[in-house]
Copies of this chain bind each other. A is one copy, B any other.
Amino acid sequence: MAEYVVGVDIGGTTVKLGLFTVSGELLDKWEITTRKDEGGKYILGDVAESVLDKLTDKNIDKKDVAGVGMGVPGPVKEDGTVLKCANLGWGVFNVEDELEKLVGLPVKAGNDANMAALGEMWQGGGKGYSNQVMVTLGTGVGGGIILNGKMLSGVNGAGGEIGHMQINDDETEVCGCGKTGCLEQYTSATGIVRAANKVLDSSDKPSKLRSLQYVSAKEIFDAAKEGDELASDLVEEHGRCLGKALAQIACVVDPEIFVIGGGVSRAGQVLIDTTSKYFQKYAFHACRGTKFALATLGNDAGIYGAANAILGK
């Protein structure tokens, strides 16, 4: 019975790594630079070397390690095939097979948003719930769906790509994905700032946001908490869009809990309150009791989840 497990979270600039006990205690975490030269061909070798060095340092025998879980910033199929990671320069190949050869341990790969969801399920805001949807509100909007303790990758690696659910027919600006009216355009950090700038430009309504050179999501939520009416309207509309989309998602997978993370989630309880208010309005009656929680692992969710994924492989 293995005692240890390694979690890896590959990002566009750094690779985060964590050494865990199989029961979920983080023993050590560290980072290496993501070498994107030559189509990212050195990344997996660097990861393998760093993992093996750490095991040597800690005097841990490979046979005591359950394996290496790895989150990557792009779609990953059930069998470990990456379908393109533009950020890393990767094309289509099986990252599990590749890293297994290099590290000599079992490997489980998955999309980073799905891994973060697994992490929050294992040791974070969704602990104790094996059916959950995690929503990451950052520059974009990511999602991770966990059913019976396992992540839903989807046939095209697009399971949980909820940021690109189309929620507005009238949008004219184009989303990063090429469509218009995606959830991400309204509920990401970028999205709420876009909405703020629009209303600040098109109305004369007084607001403390007007005194700022650049408006951020944090400042919008802070101003709303202090009673700023224009900011409160923005927070309300943000909650309406997110609550409505989550109600649609509940009609599909009917989870126990929604866990909300990413930079925007630092707004705290107000985000949960507005989102769940509109969720109640739009949800099918059987799902109205679905719980809401904030993510708690922050940037470590990815390594926790990757470690958990290999345990469930």
Query: B-contacting residues of A (Cβ < 8 Å)?
Result: 75, 83, 131, 143, 145, 147, 152-166, 177-179, 244, 247-256, 282, 284-287, 289-290
Chain B residues positioned under 8 Å from A75 (CB to CB): 286
6 residue pairs of the A-B complex, CB under 8 angstroms, read A152-B254, A154-B255, A164-B284, A166-B244, A178-B285, A252-B253
Q: In the complex, what distance in Å separates the CA atom of A152 from the CA atom of B146?
A: 12
Q: How far is the CB of A211 from chain B (nearest CB, A)?
A: 33
Q: How far is the CB of A312 from chain B (nearest CB, A)?
A: 14
Q: In the complex, what distance in Å separates the CA atom of A287 from the CA atom of B152?
A: 15
Q: In the complex, what distance in Å separates the CA atom of A200 from the CA atom of B283?
A: 32
- In-complex Cβ contact of A161 among B160, B165, B251, B256 (8 A): B251
Q: In the complex, what distance in Å separates the CA atom of A143 from the CA atom of B286?
A: 15
Chain B residues positioned under 8 Å from A158 (CB to CB): 250-251, 254, 284, 286-287
Chain B residues positioned under 8 Å from A162 (CB to CB): 251-252
Contact A159 to B253, CB < 8 A, known contacts A165-B248, A166-B248: yes
Return the chain B residue nearest A132 by Cβ.
B155
Chain B residues positioned under 8 Å from A284 (CB to CB): 158, 161, 164, 177, 179
Contact A248 to B250, CB < 8 A, known contacts A147-B147, A156-B286: no
Q: In the complex, what distance in Å separates the CA atom of A162 from the CA atom of B287?
A: 12
Q: How far is the CB of A82 from chain B (nearest CB, A)?
A: 12
Q: How far is the CB of A179 from chain B (nearest CB, A)?
A: 7
Q: How far is the CB of A47 from chain B (nearest CB, A)?
A: 25
Chain B residues positioned under 8 Å from A244 (CB to CB): 166
Chain B residues positioned under 8 Å from A143 (CB to CB): 252
- In-complex Cβ contact of A157 among B83, B154, B254 (8 A): B254
Chain B residues positioned under 8 Å from A83 (CB to CB): 286
Chain B residues positioned under 8 Å from A256 (CB to CB): 155
Q: 4 new A-B pairs (CB below 8 Å) besides A164-B284, A166-B244, A249-B252?
A: A147-B152, A156-B289, A161-B287, A162-B251
Q: How far is the CB of A146 from chain B (nearest CB, A)?
A: 12
Q: Establish whether residues B166 and A247, one from each chain, have CB atoms under 8 Å apart when the complex forms.
A: yes
Contact A282 to B166, CB < 8 A, known contacts A152-B147, A287-B156: yes
Q: How far is the CB of A274 from chain B (nearest CB, A)?
A: 17
Chain B residues positioned under 8 Å from A248 (CB to CB): 165-166, 248
Q: In the complex, what distance in Å separates the CA atom of A244 from the CA atom of B161?
A: 15
Q: In the complex, what distance in Å separates the CA atom of A162 from the CA atom of B250?
A: 9
A152, A156, A256, A290 — which one has the most chain B CB atoms within 10 A of its CB?
A: A156
Contact A254 to B147, CB < 8 A, known contacts A155-B131, A289-B156: no
Chain B residues positioned under 8 Å from A161 (CB to CB): 251, 254, 284, 286-287
Chain B residues positioned under 8 Å from A253 (CB to CB): 145, 152, 154, 159, 252-253
